[in-house]
Structure 1
């Protein structure tokens, strides 16, 4: 059976994602579409808008055959490490080809960029270090370093977020010597960071979340969502009385920072160059997460970078935890979140060839990764009035099936 893998957050799944799923299957002539999906906290350092189970349901209703969890240790990372984790998961279940959306739409452009960067890596890396010493953020340091390499004018731009992720997917495949081919499709309409919901049927997830946070009226975004996503969002907010945003977690985060010593904060993953001092100084002056971000942000640190550090403080995830797990060539286990009948057929065919445990319930997890997963899940559900039920379900719920 031919497989295509995609890397997703579905925060939430919208019409642009639905287009990608269909095009990925068509472009690769795949029988089975496998998604590796971030769990409770995401790459930009923020809680998922709705739970991973609701987003798994969205994926299955949109035509995904297998949904596998990208664990917290990779889902809350910069692009390079995020991509490495995603490729590890997809390679483990025998994915033959990946497909990603990009502003470029040309896989040759990514191949050319990959070859160019390999040839100029030492020069680029040296310039990045110089830029960082000058006090700029890592994304800006890498972008400015690239501009010094005298790349051809036709070279792919690494200023666009989906191009950056696509490049790192392909780099991870090459670095880890995985037997995975890469394909891409042109991203449709809305820009990744677009904050306004248009009248057309394609909108960014950012704009959808912003509209719902400001107005709370699902009807205002109905035209940019598949009907199944719209229904699932309705169900979630009806049952839980909220969508997950940073503001819901700010009181707990503030308490943790105030009760932590500088030494404690220094051990948290992403704490660098005395950032813990600034965190301690500013947290006492903020009455909301957005206010705190404005106080904390500098030209040195992007908002996403600071949000990731805040996420790790919230979940009490240390440098030692992350380094121990991400330094391993494979994950201790992979969590199966959902599957179609076709997905189950595929798993039955390949299960004897999978050399990493594929678990169907959290109760089957073990080791340090399971400790982190449990802590992260409990914190994610903590703002909900239904939190005790949600925490219990996490350990007993089997992989979801399409309705």
Structure 2
């Protein structure tokens, strides 16, 4: 059995994602496509537009065979730890042959060379990186400058390339046998939000922005009415299965936006303003900046949208994504101490558990093939599996459960719908064969 993995957020699963799934199967002749999926919150610090189980089921409908959840502590981390957490999970399964990812560049040798440079960190690289950081550059920008200085080539640290490089770096550091395969992306870039049909595949950012704008311009419609403009937009940009999932969940579990969690984040900041630095990703600089802004502006700091709030805090040195990740960690009470527990697993190169969200019959066959040989605990029923987890693994799982409970409370507050809790959310078993 040839098994190929994809690491994804599917926020939401659009036509470009479906293309990657199909290309992964075609290029590697895969019998089984394994997806590692972020839960309700993402690597750039955003809340997912739809619940994880809905996105996982859409992945199966669009050609994947089994979907595992990437634990919250890795899913909402830096590119390095996001990638390391996902590779550690795949490595623990012991049966993954290939990892396929979308990139701005399909030159795997260049991506591999960049990964090698990050592992070795030669003196010249370190010197340029530190100099750029000292001058006030953000870490991603400084990384690109340091790479250019050492390699003599243009920086390749674009958003998707950066993750690809981190995947390859993690594979190398863990001495994994997984073979990386790059597929060049088409359509809009990662951060592009303006979309027209001529652009081809939409970006997830553009989808979320356009969806929110369409809904805001149709507020005169009754709550349960789907704006015709939105229905047409989804049919144009999403695979049929993903569009059906979104539209059938409209105003019940979809769509969820960052503004929907802003009240909770405001409360968390005000309750913890004197010890923000205790939470993961809250550097002294970020903690002090928020303190100063609160002292100066009071609660008017929170006026406007969530994105307005983030932009008030953002500086040249602090990226918006880093700040938003810190806010998620504050919201869930994820401390620096808990972060150290999560990172310890990565140093050992394995995952505390592998929780299944959805599978097809081929996915069920895959589970049967790995059950005895994998290096982690497979979870399909949380109630039955929790006693099998040691104290550290339960600590990591605690944040998965809490993050899901928070997501569910946001859905309930917005739509009046009560989602099943983590102990009652079973595996979605999709009985038809993948497309």
TM-score bracket for this pair, using the shorter chain length: over 0.9
Q: 2:428 matched to which residue of 1?
A: 400
Contact 2:256 2:411 in 1 (8 A): no
In 2, distance between residues paired with 1:66 and 1:352? Answer: 18
In 1, distance between residues paired with 2:311 and 2:115? Answer: 36
Q: How big is the shift at 1:391?
A: 4.6
Unaligned regions of 5+ residues in structure 2, if any? 216-229
Distance 1:221 1:281, change over 3 A: farther
Q: How big is the shift at 1:136?
A: 2.1
Q: How big is the shift at 1:282?
A: 3.3
Q: 1:317 matched to which residue of 2?
A: 334
Q: 1:267 matched to which residue of 2?
A: 278
Distance 1:248 1:118, change over 3 A: closer
Distance 1:325 1:220, change over 3 A: same
Among 348, 368, 384, the alignment partner of 1:348 is: 368
Q: 1:377 matched to which residue of 2?
A: 404
Count, aligned residues? 397
Distance 1:117 1:307, change over 3 A: closer
Among 359, 362, 366, the alignment partner of 1:339 is: 359
Q: 1:202 matched to which residue of 2?
A: 201
In 1, distance between residues paired with 2:311 and 2:100? Answer: 36
Deviations 1:354-381, CA, capped at 9 Å, x for gaps: 1211001232334212221221111112
Deviations 1:11-46, CA, capped at 9 Å, x for gaps: 000111111101111111111000000111101011
Q: 1:390 matched to which residue of 2?
A: 419
Contact 1:258 1:280 in 2 (8 A): no
Q: Aligned with 1:274: secondary structure?
A: helix
Q: 2:70 matched to which residue of 1?
A: 70
Task: Tell me the TM-score normalised to structure 2 length.
Answer: 0.87
In 2, distance between residues paired with 1:282 and 1:292? Answer: 11
Question: Which residues in structure 2 correspond to 1:208-247 (within 5 Å)?
Answer: 208-216=207-215, 217-240=230-253, 242-247=254-259
Distance 1:80 1:119, change over 3 A: closer
Question: Which residues in structure 2 correspond to 1:4-403 (within 5 Å)?
Answer: 4-93=4-93, 94-117=95-118, 121-149=122-150, 151-153=151-153, 157-200=155-198, 201-216=200-215, 217-240=230-253, 242-263=254-275, 265-282=276-293, 284=299, 285-287=301-303, 288-328=305-345, 329=348, 330-363=350-383, 364-365=385-386, 366=389, 367-385=394-412, 389-392=418-421, 394-402=422-430
Q: How big is the shift at 1:123?
A: 2.3
Distance 1:290 1:114, change over 3 A: closer
In 1, distance between residues paired with 2:314 and 2:85? Answer: 28
In 2, distance between residues paired with 1:124 and 1:286? Answer: 40
Deviations 1:305-353, CA, capped at 9 Å, x for gaps: 1111111111111011111122122222111111110110111022100
Deviations 1:182-222, CA, capped at 9 Å, x for gaps: 11111122211121222144111111111111112232232
In 1, distance between residues paired with 2:137 and 2:17? Answer: 33
Alpha-carbon RMSD: 1.8
In 1, distance between residues paired with 2:128 and 2:360? Answer: 48
In 2, distance between residues paired with 1:276 and 1:34? Answer: 39
Q: Aligned with 1:6: secondary structure?
A: strand
More deviation, 327-336/15-24:
327-336
